[in-house]
Amino acid sequence: MIQRKTRWAVAAWDDTNEDKAKQLAAKLSLPPLVARLLVQRGYSEAEAAERFLRGGQEYFHDPYLLLGMKEAVERIKRAAANNEKIRIYGDYDADGVSSTSLLVHLFRSLNYHYDYYIPHRALEGYGLNRKAIELAAEEGVCLIVTVDTGISAYEEIEYAKQLGIDVVVTDHHEPPEQIPDACAVINPKQGACGYPFKGLAGVGVAFKLAHALLDRPPLEWADIVSLGTIADLMPLTDENRIFVRYGLERLRSSAGAGFRALAEAGGITLGELTSTGVAFSMAPRINAAGRLDHAKRAVELLTTDDYDTAILAAVGLDSLNKERQRIVESIVKEAEQQWQAKCEAAEAAGVEAPPVIVLAGESWNVGVIGIVASKLLERNYKPVIILGIDEKTGMCKGSARSIEGYDLHAALTACSELLDHYGGHQAAAGMSLHRDLLEQFEERLGELAKQWLSPDDWIPKTTVDLVCTVSEATLDTITDLALLEPFGMGNPSPRLLFQGAELADRRTIGKESKHLKLSLGSGRRLLDGIGFGMGILAEELQPGHTIDAVGELSVNEWNGQRKPQLQLHDLHFEPYNDTAFPEREHFGLIYQQLRLLGQAPLQGLTGRLSKQCGLPAETVQLMLDVFEELQFIERRDGRMIAASSPQKRELSSSERYRIAKQQSERSQTSAIGIK
């Protein structure tokens, strides 16, 4: 038995959708699978599908549809005409760096009198601050143009006005109730803004400002726009899809000095760059500047035309990124230990572990705590808040990541009286509060989780686009799937379910047989599959088994040969089993052995427990599956790890337990009927 690790949410499909897909495939000469995916994602009409697949700059929206654009352009042009000093005020993340860099290129090309300023993450924090405004006044700045920030800076903008500085705000974050009284505020999410696309990144809003000032879309900077859009996890639909498509084309064919240097320093092949490569190779290096040093180092890289200057900057960012990785690893280890201690304390007190993970440390670098939160979320699948504590003041700066169903922004709003500052959205947020309020903060967040989340919400979900057959997974179809790129938020790489597929072969590969290699199908039409970290499953599979597999299709190139390949995300295999269903005391007996072991190699574990307890191996395997689903044990890196303080759960809350028991009861009923 191989139990699926996540909830498979297979998107609905019916005959009506099938008919639409056939018509779309005929009109646009598309493979059936590609047509079905387009219909599944809402592009059932030929015109909409054509726009999605091949739409270009002709589909950009008029920048003057953005509320405040007219006023912003007028004020900036007046500053230019009067030779007033303009300061671009950005943020220290990749979107803020991209936004700042784009306006540097813009103002430089227009010969404006300008400079830029990005606050230091650790010393100043996010957004406009009074000291920075005072510095601007001292240096003769007449106009501040914010990028990727400013929508919540009501008081700071009032202070700037008192010092004689006008402010134009360009931002994309959720607006507060009180919008700043600036010369102009451009944010597509403003309630009164009729702009048709609300998903722009900060750099996307900056691009629209540049479009208005130049009276044309400045596609020469699409590479910078694509970097910020991808890094900030914006939906790759509508204009963002066009930005990223143009940006990737530019990066592959005619990248500027900064991006070429970044690619060389990071070992990135520009000619084959995808949105995934930008997200996991380029963005972390750009972000490393603001996390560990100062974001201006990244702006200098993206705005220089001199390759020698660029390569020095890129090597520095690559070094910072490696240091960032080391720091993250250290904090993750400390945070996990702290979390396990909380779980053990909860078990000793006879209560459940906290439903929301809230952890804080005095030595934790606030520049990387968002990454730490993401890693703990991945390992524990609970909402996570990681905070760095200022030892002198007792103030905590935190970063949060959430699971589906738990809205962080709404949760922080419900706790607003405990917080000095907060902001963000459903999945990610930041906040600050005093360490004396942490316990109360954790309790309040936990209460909200209990109110908002159902039992299913605590199980990770895999969204499946379509059910597919092995015969459909051809090289031509996989090549045509590239038409759906760029992939990312809002347009993920298609996940397909191969249901009831025959297993032709399986083996383990890699160091310590860590990975699983299998072949699906029969005869000459086979589909290779690769499951990273799934090697332990090989011993439970035999040729001829019928399995369900979820994954993403790709092309595997080896020794000049190109073959279809399925990158496995999850597997399910349930053999016919007519053994007697184990009693509750049997479960207790096996679990007692697992707790005594603590940790043990998975290889041969089922057989050893079977001999020790006198139970069939199939029955022991069922118990292990149930215990894993209930999070009593974990199977990781080829080992069984017993949870030190598992939450108390009834066996009947396990889906695997219920299914197996129902099958056993049906089998017994059938046997009685035969007699």
H helical segments located in 280-404? 283-292, 296-303, 307-348, 369-380
How crowded is residue 538: how many other Cβ atoms within 10 Å of its Cβ? Answer: 18
Instruction: Note the pLDDT tens digit of each residue in 198-242.
Output: 999 999 999 999 999 999 999 999 999 999 999 999 999 999 999
- State the Cα–Cα distance between residues 349 and 88, nearest whole angstrom: 54
| Architecture, CATH, for domain 584-673 | Orthogonal Bundle (1.10)
Q: What was the pLDDT predicted at 604?
A: 83
Q: Is the pTM of this model over 0.85?
A: no
Q: Which tokens sit at 425?
A: 């959205």
Which CATH fold topology does 462-572 show?
OB fold (Dihydrolipoamide Acetyltransferase, E2P) (2.40.50)
Strand partners, 367: none
- State the Cα–Cα distance between residues 304 and 319, nearest whole angstrom: 19
Largest CA-CA distance found in the chain, in angstroms, rounded: 100
Instruction: Note the pLDDT tens digit of each residue in 13-39.
Output: 888 999 999 999 999 999 888 999 999
How distant, in Å, are the alpha carbons of 324, 398, 503, 528 from that of 545?
45, 49, 5, 15
How distant, in Å, are the alpha carbons of 100, 380, 618 from that of 448?
38, 18, 41
Q: Is the pLDDT of residue 569 over 60?
A: yes
- State the Cα–Cα distance between residues 152 and 150, nearest whole angstrom: 5
Q: Which tokens sit at 666?
A: 């049906």
Confidence of residue 47 (pLDDT cuts 50, 70, 90): very high
Residue-range domain boundaries for the chain: 63-319, 356-452, 462-572, 584-673
SS3 631: coil
Place of tokens 């990975």: 515
Q: Is the pLDDT of residue 524 over 80?
A: no
Instruction: Note the pLDDT tens digit of each residue in 104-154.
Output: 999 999 999 999 999 998 888 889 999 999 999 999 999 999 999 999 999
Instruction: Note the pLDDT tens digit of each residue in 220-232.
Output: 999 999 999 999 9
Which CATH fold topology does 356-452 show?
Diaminopimelate Epimerase; Chain A, domain 1 (3.10.310)
Place of tokens 């307890």: 613
**Do residues 559 and 547 make contact, with C-beta atoms less than 8 angstroms apart?**
no
Element (H, E) at 262: helix 257-266
SS3 567: strand
Confidence of residue 338 (pLDDT cuts 50, 70, 90): very high
- The distance in angstroms from the start CA to the end CA of the chain is 29
Instruction: Note the pLDDT tens digit of each residue in 419-473.
Output: 998 887 788 889 999 999 999 999 999 999 999 999 889 989 999 999 888 988 9
Confidence of residue 670 (pLDDT cuts 50, 70, 90): very low
Q: What was the pLDDT predicted at 372?
A: 97
H helical segments located in 350-507? 369-380, 408-414, 438-452, 475-481
Degrees to nearest 5, angle at CA 256 with 254 and 260: 90
Q: Is the pLDDT of residue 535 over 90?
A: yes
Contacts of 209 (CB under 8 A, 6+ apart): 63, 69, 72, 73, 103, 106, 170, 186
Q: Is the pLDDT of residue 578 over 50?
A: no
- State the Cα–Cα distance between residues 201 and 148, nearest whole angstrom: 8
Q: What was the pLDDT predicted at 656?
A: 86
Name which residue leads in pLDDT, 75 or 473: 75
Strands (E), 11-113: 85-89
Say yes or no: domain 63-319 is CATH 3.40.50.1860: no
Confidence of residue 671 (pLDDT cuts 50, 70, 90): very low
Q: Is the pLDDT of residue 672 over 50?
A: no
Q: Is the pLDDT of residue 621 over 90?
A: no
CA count, 13 A, side-chain hemisphere, 319: 8
- State the Cα–Cα distance between residues 538 and 365, nearest whole angstrom: 41
Instruction: Note the pLDDT tens digit of each residue in 364-410.
Output: 999 999 999 999 999 999 999 999 999 999 999 999 999 999 999 99
- State the Cα–Cα distance between residues 208 and 211, nearest whole angstrom: 5
Q: What was the pLDDT predicted at 669?
A: 57
Q: Is the pLDDT of residue 278 over 70?
A: yes
Q: Which tokens sit at 440?
A: 């109360």
Q: Give the number of residues written for the chain.
A: 675
SS3 184: strand
- State the Cα–Cα distance between residues 310 and 258, nearest whole angstrom: 5
